[in-house]
Structure 1
């Protein structure tokens, strides 16, 4: 993992003076994109605001706790392409763009950040957990602890499934990581890349509720 982080930093530093999207204009100060590419991203509202909504009630059986989700962008070009290349083509040099997008949300008033875990099979085939790398960067910027209270069983991919099939596919997909639960944080922010139906976040919430977590928010790069 340390070798991976060093590689990411090296890539980011190597592209620091050029826009990582168009690779033509210089990147704006403290950002990875030029001003034009940044402005043209498919923001849900505007570059300094995020869209808020709650998970559908039927996705949380026997749960009354609300779950606020914030999304910065629509899941359309070029954000959809950036996320796909980052996750499935190991384009780690794109991490700074996705990290900068998430940083448009003000620092959250939470006790810990929780990255959506990857299954062991995904870690082997992909080589890294995409959301964990994002959460690690946010943890450093915001000075908020990173907490990994859940592990994940392998399940078939969610792509192409209906909303109901997605919820069924993720039943009991997450389980408690006892090594990380000696201390329980009661107010947390889940970090993920894309929200489609909210099934992943809902499945995590059920396990987090069982741990005693009292307030759950989520932050995603894009909403499909």
Structure 2
């Protein structure tokens, strides 16, 4: 199935990630967080037989799952305040970006993000995938009318880091929602890290950071990033798209939120 020529095919990621996830899901019987308790299970009846079926994606025990406050309230970010000169254009119609995170940037989720993003520790990936699977698919969105756009990185940062963590996580979000990935935006800046910057510094750092290289294949664009603090990156990405395609409907999602 395609959307204006876009094949509903999952973005290919290195085999080591896939093998690591398969090992955990099919061979490991204990929680990926505490590594002590078995993964949580529920029992359900099927054709008269009582079966035990692992839930929470075979990855985390009930106690560790309960340690986080999943799906906190959405974060509304005003776009019209970021670029006042655009208020008479698309932003006057779409003047706020709604961001839904899976959980706050605390506890074992914060540790797992740091270990995967900066150290490429494969043992952290199942925890992050578990968090992704707490995000419900947006209402009314499906593989025929929506695409996921992961926040792109620069070629320089990719060369230094050696891999693209947000793209890897977006692959698993695509699997979870059954919505294809779209790679129609590139990052053209070579700005430094956003870490440690306040809201205004982050906005300035992200100014003119993205370029659309391909027309969106559908109206619903679901932006994704790993960590949202001020929302400057996602808002810059949304504004870049809205400037060229003002009728686009945009929602944003992240693994964690530290605002």
TM range (shorter): 0.7 to 0.9
Distance between the aligned counterparts of 1:208 and 1:174, measured in 2? Answer: 9
Give the structure with the higher percent strand.
2
Equivalent residue number for residue 24 of structure 1: 36
Structure 1 pair 159/11, CA: closer, same or farther in 2 (3 Å)?
same
Bigger CA drift: 24-33 or 159-168? 24-33
Q: 2:182 is matched with which residue: 128, 142, 147?
A: 147
Asked if 2 retains the 8 angstrom alpha-carbon contact of 1:51 and 1:72, the reply is: no
Q: Is the radius of gyration larger for structure 1 or structure 2?
A: 2
TM-score of the aligned structures, taking structure 1 as reference length: 0.88
Structure 1 pair 76/115, CA: closer, same or farther in 2 (3 Å)?
same
Bigger CA drift: 129-138 or 6-15? 6-15
The residue correspondences of 1:1-224 to structure 2 (distance < 5 A) are 5-16=14-25, 17-28=29-40, 29=54, 30-41=57-68, 43=69, 47=70, 49-57=71-79, 58-61=81-84, 62=86, 63-64=91-92, 65=94, 66-108=96-138, 109-110=140-141, 111-152=146-187, 153-176=189-212, 178=213, 181-212=214-245, 214-224=248-258
* Displacement of 1:94: 1.8
TM-score of the aligned structures, taking structure 2 as reference length: 0.77
How many pairs were matched up? Answer: 215
The two structures, once aligned, show a CA RMSD in angstroms of 1.9
Structure 1 pair 105/169, CA: closer, same or farther in 2 (3 Å)?
same
Listed as ranges, the gaps of 5+ residues in structure 1 are none
Listed as ranges, the gaps of 5+ residues in structure 2 are 1-10, 41-53
Provide Cα deviations, 1:95-150, integer angstroms capped at 9, x if missing partner: 22212212212212331111000111111122221111111112123221111121
Equivalent residue number for residue 50 of structure 2: none
